[in-house]
C-alpha cells in the first residue's frame, strides 16, 4: 500500500500519542474527522498499522538488562513449535525471529540483572527443541522500534 504525507502525519501523531482521539487528530492535521477516520481505517485494513498501543519500556518496571540470544534448534522439531514453546516458557522474550546464518532464531530478552538474565537463558536452553544457545548483553540501546523515519521516507518518496 502507498502512504502519503497525510498518512505519515497521522501515523506519527498516533505513535507519539496513542490515546489521542480521532477528532483531535483531525483538528491537529487540519482535516475533516471523516477523512481522519477513513485514513485510519485504510491503514489498519492494509496492515500498515497493526495496533495503536502505548510503547512500553521494560526498564521502567525493573527490566533494565537487554540481551540477545542466538538459538540453534533441533531440526527434527519445526521452528513454529519451538517458537510457541519459547513464548510460553519465557515471558522475558520481547522479540523473536527466525533468521538465516549460523543460528536458527534470534531472541531479544530482558532481565532485572545479570543473575536473573542467567536464569532466563537457562529457561531458554531447557525448552524442548532448543539444541544450543549463544548470548550477548546489550551495553546501550541506540534505537529500538524505530519506524517513523521509514514512514516519512516512504511518504516523501511515494514508493
Average pLDDT estimate for 75-87: 94
- Nearest to 108, CA basis, from 96, 121, 91: 96
- Per-residue pLDDT at 159: 56
Average pLDDT estimate for 63-80: 95
- Nearest to 86, CA basis, from 33, 127, 38: 127
Distances (CA, A) of 98 to 72, 103, 127: 10, 9, 16
Position 100 pLDDT exceeds 90: yes
- Per-residue pLDDT at 114: 96
* Cα 153 versus chain centre, distance: 20
As beta bridge partners, residue 133 has 71
| Structure confidence at residue 70 as a pLDDT band (50, 70, 90) | very high
For the segment 131-149, what is each residue's pLDDT rounded down to a tens digit? Answer: 999 999 999 999 988 888 9
CA–CA separation, 117 vs 125, rounded Å?
Answer: 12
CA–CA separation, 62 vs 23, rounded Å?
Answer: 36
Position 158 pLDDT exceeds 80: no
State the CB neighbour count (10 A cutoff) for residue 98: 14
Is the CB of residue 114 less than 8 Å from the CB of residue 65? Answer: yes
- Nearest to 37, CA basis, from 23, 48, 49, 17: 23
Does pTM top 0.75 for this prediction? yes
Amino acid at each position: 500500500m502507498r502512504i502519503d504525507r497525510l498518512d505519515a502525519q497521522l501515523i506519527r501523531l498516533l505513535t507519539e500519542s496513542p490515546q489521542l482521539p480521532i477528532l483531535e487528530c483531525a483538528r491537529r492535521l487540519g482535516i475533516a474527522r471523516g477523512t481522519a477516520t477513513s485514513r485510519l481505517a485504510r491503514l489498519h485494513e492494509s496492515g500498515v498499522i497493526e495496533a495503536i498501543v502505548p510503547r512500553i519500556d521494560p526498564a521502567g518496571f525493573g527490566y533494565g538488562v537487554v540481551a540477545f540470544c542466538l538459538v540453534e534448534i533441533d531440526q527434527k522439531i519445526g521452528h513454529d513449535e519451538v517458537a510457541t514453546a519459547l513464548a510460553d516458557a519465557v515471558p522475558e522474550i520481547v522479540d523473536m525471529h527466525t533468521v538465516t546464518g549460523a543460528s536458527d532464531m534470534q531472541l531479544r530478552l530482558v532481565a532485572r540483572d545479570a543473575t536473573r538474565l542467567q536464569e532466563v537463558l537457562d529457561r531458554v536452553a531447557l525448552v524442548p527443541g532448543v539444541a544450543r544457545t549463544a548470548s550477548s548483553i546489550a551495553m546501550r540501546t541506540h534505537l529500538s522500534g524505530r519506524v517513523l523515519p521509514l514512514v516519512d521516507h516512504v511518504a516523501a518518496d511515494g514508493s
